[in-house]
Amino acid sequence: MIDAVLRRFLLVGVGNTALGLGVIFVARQFVPDVIANAIGYLIVVPISFLAHRDLSFRDRGGKLLAFLRYLPVVAAGYAVNLMLLTTALTFGVNAYLGQTAAIAGHVATTYLLSRCFVFLHFERSQ
């Protein structure tokens, strides 16, 4: 069974993903894809932090230190995502399956590290 924190994390993640893709899709009309991707991250990471802090984990600890802990968590999630994707593609795995595995790796990594390392004063019930 999925606990309430994970359920909220997944729902917030869907919103963050939609926002990020929206920013990237608009930005890529004006700048190259790599820059559009960076713009998406720059806009969504702080929003994602606040949404996960307030909605997913309902954390009541200090924001600044938690945000500083969140940044390497996002970097770790991205690294896992990239590693899984490149490994899948290297071994000839279908690109859609590889992307799905990469996203799942990112979600699992950021959830576990957020729960254990970032949001130390979170609401565990409901």
| pLDDT confidence tier of residue 29, bands split at 50, 70 and 90 | very high
Q: Is the distance from CB of 39 to CB of 27 less than 8 angstroms? A: yes
Is residue 109 in a domain? Answer: yes
- pLDDT tens digits for 75-98? 999 999 899 999 999 999 999 899
Is residue 124 in a domain? Answer: no
Domain interval for residue 65: 4-118
- Number of domains comprising the chain: 1
Q: Is the distance from CB of 102 to CB of 84 less than 8 angstroms? A: yes
HEC readout, the chain: CCCHHHHHHHHHHHHHHHHHHHHHHHHCCCCCHHHHHHHHHHHHHHHHHHHHHHHHCCCCCCHHHHHHHHHHHHHHHHHHHHHHHHHHHHCCCCHHHHHHHHHHHHHHHHHHHHHHHHCCCCCCCC
Given a cut of 70, whether residue 43 has pLDDT beyond it is yes
Apex CA 68: angle with CA 112 and CA 64, to 5°?
A: 115
Is residue 125 in a domain? Answer: no
| pLDDT confidence tier of residue 125, bands split at 50, 70 and 90 | low
**Total count of residues recorded for the chain:** 126
Nearest to 8 by CA among 56, 53, 50, 52: 56
Given a cut of 80, whether residue 52 has pLDDT beyond it is yes
Given a cut of 60, whether residue 42 has pLDDT beyond it is yes
Lowest mean pLDDT among 16-20, 34-38, 45-49, 121-125: 121-125
Is residue 126 in a domain? Answer: no
Question: Mean pLDDT for the chain?
Answer: 93
Is residue 56 in a domain? Answer: yes
pLDDT number for residue 37: 85
Is residue 95 in a domain? Answer: yes
Greatest extent of the chain over all pairs of C-alpha atoms, in Å = 45
pLDDT number for residue 126: 54
Is residue 123 in a domain? Answer: no
pLDDT number for residue 90: 93
